[in-house]
Each structure stands twice: as C-alpha cells, then as structure tokens.
C-alpha cells in the first residue's frame, strides 16, 4: 500500500509568496519660472528711469522737435493769417510766407483757413491748424494769437543788419505778448528779397494782426523808433 505524501500535496497547493516591491519615491513638483514675465517689466522700469534722468538733455538737443518735424514733412507751421482784405499768409519755420513761395525745398501751395498745403519734389501733404477768421492764429486749439508782426529783412554780412540783431532780440523778448519778430536773410534767400520788393537792407516791414502791411522802413532802426512806428500805425501796446 502506498502512502499519500501530504507534505508534497500541501506544498503544491501553497500560494506563491508575494514579491517585495520597491518603496515609491514621491514625484518632484515642477517649479514655475517667473523670470520671462519679470524681465520685461524690469526693462520697462529701467528705460523709464533712464528717460527721466536724461530728459533735460534729450529735450535740449531738440530730438523731440526734430522727430515731429520729420513727421510733418520737414517744416513747422506755427500760424495762419486769413483775412478777406489781404492775401492769406502763414508762419512757416519762423518766416511769413504767401502761396506759391518756398521755404527751403518745400513749396507753399495753398493757404486755407484751417491749414496749409505743402509740396516737395517727392510728395504733397497738408498741415492743419484751428484758426479764426482774422489774425495770426496759433496751433493751440481754440486760441488765437492776434499779434502784429515785425519782419526784418537783412543779412549777417551787412554791418547795419548786425547792429539790428541785439535790438530785435530785445524786442522779441520784452514784447513777445505785443508783436512777433521774424527775420529773413535775403542774401541767403534772394528770392525772398524779390518777393518783398527789397532794394536795400536792413528793411523792417510792419504788419497788423490781420497780416496787412502798415509801414516799412529801410536802414538802421532803434528800439524807440520801432515802438514809435507801431504807435504811429495806430497799434498801441
């Protein structure tokens, strides 16, 4: 009689031992980098600080004015005189000009009540300016600079013209609220001399607030004589 091997049978039915698993290491959290967001802000703050620090120098060099001038076609329109009694005039780059005249390489094509048409060999454009029916009008909206104009036509090579320079400078400073002082070098711009009918220099031309010529003088003219000429023309300050 054979014997039943219970141990072998039990061993065969025994469940396999579970394999030992490795301890799990917690996953590292991904760190978020704020550097790409912060750097543009730092640069903007730094640039703003540099501009504020050097603003007087930037302004003094006229960089802002030059940029605006380039955008406006290379000339600066600062006034318009539009009256039914006389031909329209405009103040461009500090010069009193009429239609058809040149300011450097820029031609004044047409002067309107609210703007001036300009033209060069390459392009045409219009600069606008709010104005009133009469008088020289400033570029400030709603305000009219109804000022007379003293136009000096001369040249730096003329001795009497050089004597006029400190007088005109003083008048421009002390009477800026009473009248404008403009200057044209007719030797550098001979066409301007022909336009104004200049036969000798210096010549002073007096315009009232509407742009109408009221008086002119040839030769040296003192400050007192200029102020007296305004008074004789009926213009009081």
Report the percent of the chain where pLDDT is more than 90. Answer: 28
Phi, psi of 152 (to 5 degrees): -100, 125
Tell me: the pLDDT tens digits for 170-184? 998 888 889 999 999
Given a cut of 90, whether residue 20 has pLDDT beyond it is: no
Given a cut of 50, whether residue 198 has pLDDT beyond it is: yes
* Confidence band for 163, pLDDT divided at 50, 70 and 90: very high
- The tally of CA atoms less than 13 A away on the side-chain side of residue 143 is 6
Phi, psi of 206 (to 5 degrees): -105, 125
Label residue 157 left, alpha or beta by phi (over 0 means left) and psi (-120 to 50 means alpha). alpha
* Confidence band for 105, pLDDT divided at 50, 70 and 90: confident
Residue 26 is predicted with a pLDDT of 60
Given a cut of 80, whether residue 83 has pLDDT beyond it is: no
Given a cut of 80, whether residue 196 has pLDDT beyond it is: yes
Structure-model confidence comparison of residues 225 and 69, the more confident one: 225
Question: What pairs with residue 206 in β-bridges?
Answer: 150, 215
pTM greater than 0.85: no
Q: Region 136-152: what's the mean pLDDT?
A: 64
Q: DSSP strand E in the chain: where?
A: 77-83, 86-92, 95-97, 102-103, 106-112, 115-119, 124-128, 136-137, 149-154, 180-185, 203-207, 213-218
């Amino acid at each position: 009689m054979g014997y039943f091997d219970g141990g072998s049978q039990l061993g065969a039915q025994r469940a396999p031992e579970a394999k030992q698993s490795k301890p799990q290491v917690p996953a590292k959290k991904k760190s978020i980098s704020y550097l790409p967001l912060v750097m543009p802000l730092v640069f903007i703050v730094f640039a703003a600080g540099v501009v504020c620090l050097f603003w007087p120098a930037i302004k003094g060099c006229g960089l802002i004015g030059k940029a605006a001038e380039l955008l406006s076609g290379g000339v600066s329109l600062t006034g318009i005189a539009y009256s039914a009694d006389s031909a329209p005039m405009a103040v461009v780059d500090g010069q009193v000009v009429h239609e058809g005249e040149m300011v450097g390489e820029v031609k004044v094509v047409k002067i309107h009540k609210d703007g001036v048409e300009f033209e060069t060999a390459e392009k045409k454009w219009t600069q606008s300016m709010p104005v009133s029916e009469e008088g020289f009008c400033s570029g400030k909206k709603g305000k009219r600079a109804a000022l007379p104009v003293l136009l000096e036509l001369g040249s730096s090579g003329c001795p009497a013209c050089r004597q006029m320079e400190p007088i005109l400078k003083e008048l421009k400073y002390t009477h800026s609220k009473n009248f404008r002082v403009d200057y044209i070098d007719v030797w550098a711009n001979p066409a301007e001399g022909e336009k104004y009918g200049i036969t000798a220099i210096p010549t002073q031309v007096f315009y009232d607030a509407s742009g109408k010529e009221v008086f002119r003088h040839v030769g040296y003219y003192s400050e007192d004589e200029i102020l007296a000429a305004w008074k004789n023309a009926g213009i009081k300050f």
